């Protein structure tokens, strides 16, 4: 069966981003860009399913400027078979991304769509669920285990109280949580091979999707800074401060 994996280009997780001085946006000039860590887990899961013989083809999709090809190539180096770039310089919000993915899913007819549960830039945690609504597919969000069965997939989900397992009819959507797997490193030969794998380019217009943003960011600012407090010398001093100064224990 075919799997569609969505990968997003984001500011690398090691970079601490800051708002621009005028507060209009975050400053992403000259910062390192990478594949979103949750998307990397999604690719890894698809590759493992392929290695198990459950999956026959993995298609990696990304959206945004031309440079998103780099993240598709990363996915191809990890084991995806071909890539699709939905190229646009427009701002893409999750609803628009979900609509583009729906258009691609209509064409490609995957049995499984695997996405990261959220991207580490916008932290929205929306796209997979919205793709579920648009396609009518069931969703297994925040997955920590995925087992494909005959005509269905069993997904164990990380929920507030512990774990929940649901069964979804195929085709279905899975969004990955951190503990689903540990992604491999791409080997040099695979990075070289990835350069020769097919990568098609399309656009929101070609897919018939209106990507006009529905929300406007009025400003961005740093969060209220927390001041470092004092070091205490002993457990006794700590207890004294908590009782008499902070008054949080009796």
Partner 1 sequence: MSILVIAEHDNAEIKGATLNTVAAAKAIGGDIHILVAGAECGAAAEAAARIDGVAKVLVADNAGYEHQLAENVAKLVADLGGDYSHILAPATTTGKNMLPRVAALLDVQPISDILAVESADTFKRPIYAGNVIATVQSSDTTKVITVRTTAFDAAVAEGGSAAVETVDIAEDAGVSSFVGEELAVSDRPELTSAKVVISGGRGMQNGDNFEMLYKLADKLGAAVGASRAAVDAGFVPNDMQVGQTGKIVAPDLYIAVGISGAIQHLAGMKDSKVIVAINKDEEAPIFSVADYGLVADLFDAVPELETKL
Residues of span 85-144 touching partner 1 by CB under 8 A: 93-95, 98, 118, 120-127, 129-134, 136-139, 141-142, 144
Closest contact distance (angstroms) between CB of 191 and partner 1 is 27
- Which residue of 32, 52, 196, 219 would you call a contact of partner 1, by CB under 8 A? 219
Closest contact distance (angstroms) between CB of 16 and partner 1 is 6
Do residues 14 and 32 touch, judged by C-beta distance below 8 A? Answer: yes
Cβ proximity to partner 1, 69 vs 127, nearer residue: 127
Q: How far apart are the first and last CA of the chain?
A: 62
Residue 69 CB neighbour total at 10 angstroms: 18
Do residues 82 and 197 touch, judged by C-beta distance below 8 A? Answer: yes
- Which residue of 22, 89, 150, 160 would you call a contact of partner 1, by CB under 8 A? 160
d(CA 123, CA 202): 26
Tell me which residues in 33-92 interact with partner 1 (CB under 8 A). Answer: none
Cβ proximity to partner 1, 41 vs 72, nearer residue: 41
DSSP 111: S
- Which residue of 22, 189, 231, 244 would you call a contact of partner 1, by CB under 8 A? 231
| Count of residues that bind partner 1 according to CB under 8 A | 77
- Cα 149–142–121 angle (5° rounding)? 135
Q: Which secondary structure element, helix H or strand E, spans residue 154, and what is its range?
A: strand 152-159
- Which residue of 66, 169, 193, 195 would you call a contact of partner 1, by CB under 8 A? 169
Do residues 65 and 88 touch, judged by C-beta distance below 8 A? Answer: yes
d(CA 125, CA 153): 21
Closest contact distance (angstroms) between CB of 68 and partner 1 is 19
Letters for 177-196 (x = contact with partner 1 by CB under 8 A, - = none) are xxx-----------------
| Stretch of 60-68, 80-88, 195-203, 217-225 lying at the interface with partner 1 (CB under 8 A) | 217-225
Do residues 194 and 73 touch, judged by C-beta distance below 8 A? Answer: yes
Scanning 37-178, the segments in alpha helix (DSSP H) are 37-51, 69-78, 94-108, 127-135
Letters for 8-27 (x = contact with partner 1 by CB under 8 A, - = none) are ---x----xxxx------x-
- Which residue of 158, 184, 199, 203 would you call a contact of partner 1, by CB under 8 A? 158
- Which residue of 30, 53, 216, 244 would you call a contact of partner 1, by CB under 8 A? 216
């Amino acid at each position: 069966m075919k799997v569609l994996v969505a990968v997003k280009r984001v500011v690398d997780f090691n970079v601490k981003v800051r708002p621009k001085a005028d507060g209009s946006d975050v400053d992403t000039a000259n910062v390192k860009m990478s594949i979103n860590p949750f998307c990397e887990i999604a690719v890894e899961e698809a590759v493992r399913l392929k290695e198990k013989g459950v999956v026959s083809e993995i298609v990696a999709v990304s959206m945004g400027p031309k440079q998103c090809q780099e993240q598709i190539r990363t996915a191809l180096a990890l084991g995806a078979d071909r890539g699709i770039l939905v190229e646009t310089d427009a701002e893409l919000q999750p609803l628009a991304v979900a609509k583009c993915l729906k258009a691609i899913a209509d064409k490609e007819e995957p049995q499984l769509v695997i996405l990261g549960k959220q991207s580490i830039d916008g932290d929205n945690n929306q796209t997979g669920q919205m793709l579920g609504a648009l396609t009518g597919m069931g969703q297994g969000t925040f997955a920590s285990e995925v087992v494909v069965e005959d005509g269905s997939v069993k997904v164990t989900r990380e929920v507030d109280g512990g774990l929940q397992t649901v069964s979804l009819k195929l085709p279905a959507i899975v969004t990955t949580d951190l503990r689903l797997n540990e992604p491999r490193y791409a080997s040099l030969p695979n990075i070289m091979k990835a350069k020769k794998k097919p990568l098609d380019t399309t656009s929101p217009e070609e897919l018939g999707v209106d990507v006009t943003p529905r929300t406007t960011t009025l400003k961005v600012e740093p969060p209220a800074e927390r001041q470092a407090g004092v070091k205490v010398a002993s457990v006794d001093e700590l207890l004294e401060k908590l009782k008499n100064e902070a008054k949080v224990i009796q």
